Amino acid sequence: MSNDYNFDDVIPVEINTEQPQLCQILYDDEYKTTMGILLALLKNEEYSERALYITQKGIELLASHYTIWIYRYDILTKLNKDLFEELDWCEQVALENEKNYQIWNYRQLIIDRILKTSGDEKEGSTKRKYEPHREFPILEAMLDSDPKNHHVWSYRKWLVEKFDLFNDPKELEFVDKCILADLRNNSAWNHRYFLKFAKVDLITEESVKNELQYVESLIEQLPQNPSSWNYLIGIYQKQGLKLSGLEDFCLKFINLKELELNDNSFKAVKSLYALEMLAKIFLERKDYKDSIKVYDLLGTQYDTIRSNYWKYEKSKVETIVGGTTH
Amino acid sequence: MTTTQQLYIDKHEKFFNRFLSVLPSKLQSEDSNKLAIIYFSLYGLSIIKRFKFSEVERKLFINSIYDSHLIDTEIYTAFRATSYFKSDDHKSHKYDLPNLASSLFSLQILLVLKDDFSKRINNHKIMKFLQLSQIKSGVNKGSFSPTLINTDSSITVNYGETDIRLCYIAASIRKLIKYDQLQPSQRINDIDIPLVVSFIKSRLNANGGFSSEILDESHLGYTYCALACLRLLDYDIESDIELGKVVNWLVHRQVDFPEPLYTKDEDEEYDYEYYRDVDIGSFNGRENKFGDTCYSWWCLGSLKVINHDYVNLINLQTNYKYLLNQVQNKLLGGFSKDPFSNPDPQHSFLALASLSLTNDFSEELDEIDESLVITGQSKQYWLKHINYPS
């Protein structure tokens, strides 16, 4: 977009004139001029090329303000602009300012509009068709620079849902790549869970088995990792499986003999999540004494920062014991 | 408290007052969050018991909130985010839009300034705004949109990204104008509460936390908003067994790296870039992320929302150490989000709010209401002076 638009006829709205005010911002001249012109056009409901240009400048300065986005969207639709060009523009803005969160919601609106307007076209139309895979490079670039960007992952979920990409090979490959690149990337694990378990008709005995194998092998690679344990526990909860099925698996990370020795050696435990799971398994099969013992170990030796919490969990088990014996 | 664990109240007072006066141009990109900056700074002064404005100043501030931010249409009452989008006196324009978060911040600001807003703000009309903002269909049904668009045919349409934060904001506004105290038959513009509750519950995950979208990553900020919102709507959190895992998830947000489960290399670094010793005692918002000052509030606040005794389930001493020794700025005042950043009003206020959730700093700090996030003084004012006729 060029900046040879002429605004000579516009009287910029003066900003920052109220006195007194709290948190008075000392705007610089560029801000005052841009916002002044933007406000003047917006109040006049001017929908023009130069107005479109000034919204871009406004968004660069004040990305968090909804109204500028709304005005820009109105201009686009009234001028019947090419929406694919707008998607390209969004990509540039996103890459330039990673903290620009409004852009993702706006992009959804643009895509929704593309779908809506292309649906109106008659068959044989030369109009470009929207292809959801066009989002992949920009999302990959964004996640490459911040692999845990919450807004980008949320947007990715929206895309998957919208275009039913749950079983899309490229999508599955991408999330697999993210997990293997960083086993502790909680966002990536969460996205995998979404792909595999959000749709009931995609869950089969075989898929559950595969996912259990997948996560268990990655827990074995890195046992002290909340993200993979969450994934495992999530499957158990979703499928209504008994926790005791995990006992043998947990014991891969807990050396019960050394634990019994109680010699303050940490060698006995390779994963706090396995230890906590063990306490729950013991509780599930009403082995209260051992459950209490494990909570004790967590609170006094292995996870002392949470000692009060483990005491509280222990006291809950003790209440059950008290209730059954008296 | 030991001498190393001290609060630099004088510095914090200067810090908050500095933000309330004049802000440099580099903060102009925060323009639409200005009400948030005002809220954090005024409540920052209130919580350290240094709220010392004269009657004249107080009146001027109150008037400037109404003049710059209040939108009072024939249909609804709300507040706008940025003052200069205000319509001209003689003619309202299409893009002068209400904002849900700005509406809550404005009411909270008016409270701390001891303004009886029940005189200026019609409860049914601000509830009308909430009612219009509530989303009626689709995957976000029950939640609220951040703003409303005026269409050419003068129908309002929901706009913007929605999530549990907006539910929390709506529930807080409803509580602050005491709509819950009216008889149900008098609440002519009430929101659909069962819908809000089912929206929130749909964002509950297997690990016990809440997320922005269905099956999105559990996040401590959203989890606080979910719990506080339920509480503000008088929902019985502790009796709902489906919420039984949230305490476990909350206490696991406190960061620690006990040896030898976590090992360091020869440069004293852990094998993961998101793990670092300075974070011990702090809280992260999601698994395997850095600690951040604000999560100390979101976690302790959440626990207190569930049950007043539950703040004791976390390790308070290491939390204090992190806040007072790692992120408190002893030179400029204020608190930063982590030990490597500059202090800002939001993290400063939330750090102090976290410290005031227990009694250990009650000499220096006022109380804080864990769901409305207003100080003891402003709560007293609210209880006593804000009254809508039934």
pLDDT band at A156 (very low <50, low <70, confident <90, very high): very high
**Mean predicted confidence (pLDDT) in B156-185:** 96
Amino acid at A205: E
Query: Which residues of chain B lie closer than 8 angstroms to A267, CB-CB?
Result: 260
pLDDT band at B3 (very low <50, low <70, confident <90, very high): very low
Query: Which residues of chain A lie closer than 8 angstroms to B261, CB-CB?
Result: 224, 266, 269-272, 302
B194 Cβ contact partners less than 8 Å away, ≥ 6 residues apart: none
Nearest chain A residue to B282, by CA? A305
Partner residue opposite B34 with nearest CB, options A23, A238, A307: A23
Q: Is the pLDDT of residue B103 over 60?
A: yes
Element (H, E) at A25: strand A24-25
Please write the tens of the pLDDT for every residue from B137-165.
999 999 999 999 987 666 778 999 999 99
A23, B20: Cβ pair inside 8 Å?
yes
Q: What pLDDT score does A124 carry? A: 56
Q: What pLDDT score does A15 carry? A: 87
Q: What pLDDT score does A258 carry? A: 76
Q: What pLDDT score does B380 carry? A: 98
A121/A132 Cα distance (integer angstroms): 19
Q: What pLDDT score does B390 carry? A: 79
**Mean predicted confidence (pLDDT) in B352-364:** 97
B386/B372 Cα distance (integer angstroms): 15
Query: Which residues of chain A lie closer than 8 angstroms to B62, CB-CB?
Result: none
B97, A267: Cβ pair inside 8 Å?
no
Query: Which residues of chain B lie closer than 8 angstroms to A65, CB-CB?
Result: 31-32, 81-82
Q: What pLDDT score does A58 carry? A: 95
Q: To the nearest whole angstrom, how far is the Cα of B314 from the nearest Cα of chain A? A: 6
**Mean predicted confidence (pLDDT) in A174-183:** 98
In this structure, the number of other CB atoms found within 10 A of the CB of residue B381 comes to: 18
Q: What pLDDT score does B90 carry? A: 73
**A70 and B149 in contact (C-beta within 8 Å)?**
yes
A224, B262: Cβ pair inside 8 Å?
yes
ipTM: 0.95
B99, A66: Cβ pair inside 8 Å?
yes
Q: Is the pLDDT of residue A307 over 60?
A: yes
Nearest chain B residue to A42, by CA? B95
Partner residue opposite B84 with nearest CB, options A35, A64, A197: A35
B94 touches chain A (CB under 8 A): yes
Q: Which of A13, A15, A17, A23 to mutate to test the interface with B (most CBs of B within 10 A)?
A: A23
Nearest chain B residue to A240, by CA? B206
Q: What pLDDT score does A212 carry? A: 98
B315 touches chain A (CB under 8 A): yes
CA angle B373, B378, B384 (to 5 degrees): 120
Please write the tens of the pLDDT for every residue from A229-287.
999 999 999 999 999 999 999 999 998 877 776 655 557 899 999 999 999 999 999 99
What is the 3 state secondary structure string of chain B? CCCCCCCCHHHHHHHHHHHHHEECHHHHHHHHHHHHHHHHHHHHHHHCCCCCCCHHHHHHHHHHHHHHHEEECCCCEEECCCHHHCCECCECCCCCCCEHHHHHHHHHHHHHCCCCHHHCCCHHHHHHHHHHHECCCCCCCCCECCEEEECCCCCEEEECCCCHHHHHHHHHHHHHCCHHHCCHHHCCCCCCHHHHHHHHHCCECCCCCECCCCCCCCCHHHHHHHHHHHHHCCCCCCCCHHHCCHHHHHHCCECCCCCCCCCECCCCCECCCCCCHHHCCCEECCCCCCECHHHHHHHHHHHHHHCHHHHHHCCHHHHHHHHHHHHECCCCCCEECCCCCCEEHHHHHHHHHHHCCCCCCCCCCCCECCCCCCEHHHHHHHHHHCCCCC
Q: What pLDDT score does A21 carry? A: 81
Would you tell me which residues 344-383 of chain B have a C-beta closer than 8 angstroms to some C-beta of chain A?
Answer: none
A62, B32: Cβ pair inside 8 Å?
yes
**Mean predicted confidence (pLDDT) in A302-310:** 97
A70, B149: Cβ pair inside 8 Å?
yes
Q: What pLDDT score does B60 carry? A: 94
Please write the tens of the pLDDT for every residue from A70-88.
999 999 999 999 999 999 9
Q: Is the pLDDT of residue A55 over 70?
A: yes
Nearest chain B residue to A267, by CA? B260
Partner residue opposite A226 with nearest CB, options B21, B159, B288: B288
Q: What pLDDT score does B213 carry? A: 93
Mean per-residue pLDDT of chain A: 92
Would you tell me which residues 307-326 of chain A have a C-beta closer than 8 angstroms to some C-beta of chain B?
Answer: 307-309, 312
Q: Which residue has the tokens 């149900």?
A: B184
Q: To the nearest whole angstrom, how far is the Cα of B22 from the nearest Cα of chain A? A: 5
Q: What pLDDT score does B46 carry? A: 98
pLDDT band at B97 (very low <50, low <70, confident <90, very high): very high
A22 touches chain B (CB under 8 A): yes
CA angle B301, B305, B310 (to 5 degrees): 80
Q: What pLDDT score does A257 carry? A: 79
Partner residue opposite B219 with nearest CB, options A21, A150, A272: A150
Please write the tens of the pLDDT for every residue from B246-293.
999 999 999 999 988 999 999 999 999 999 999 999 999 999 999 999
**Residue B42, token pair as written in the block:** 């005024």
B28 Cβ contact partners less than 8 Å away, ≥ 6 residues apart: A25, A27, A28, A31, A61, A62
Percent of chain B with pLDDT over 70: 98
B368/B108 Cα distance (integer angstroms): 13
Please write the tens of the pLDDT for every residue from B31-70.
889 999 999 999 999 999 999 999 999 999 999 999 999 9
Mean per-residue pLDDT of chain B: 95
Please write the tens of the pLDDT for every residue from A62-73.
988 889 999 999
B85, A67: Cβ pair inside 8 Å?
yes
A104, B61: Cβ pair inside 8 Å?
no
A11 touches chain B (CB under 8 A): no
A70, B95: Cβ pair inside 8 Å?
yes
Q: What pLDDT score does A1 carry? A: 45
A132-241 has CATH 1.25.40 classification = yes
B81, A66: Cβ pair inside 8 Å?
yes
Query: Which residues of chain B lie closer than 8 angstroms to A43, CB-CB?
Result: 87-88, 93, 95
pLDDT band at B205 (very low <50, low <70, confident <90, very high): very high
B154/A155 Cα distance (integer angstroms): 30
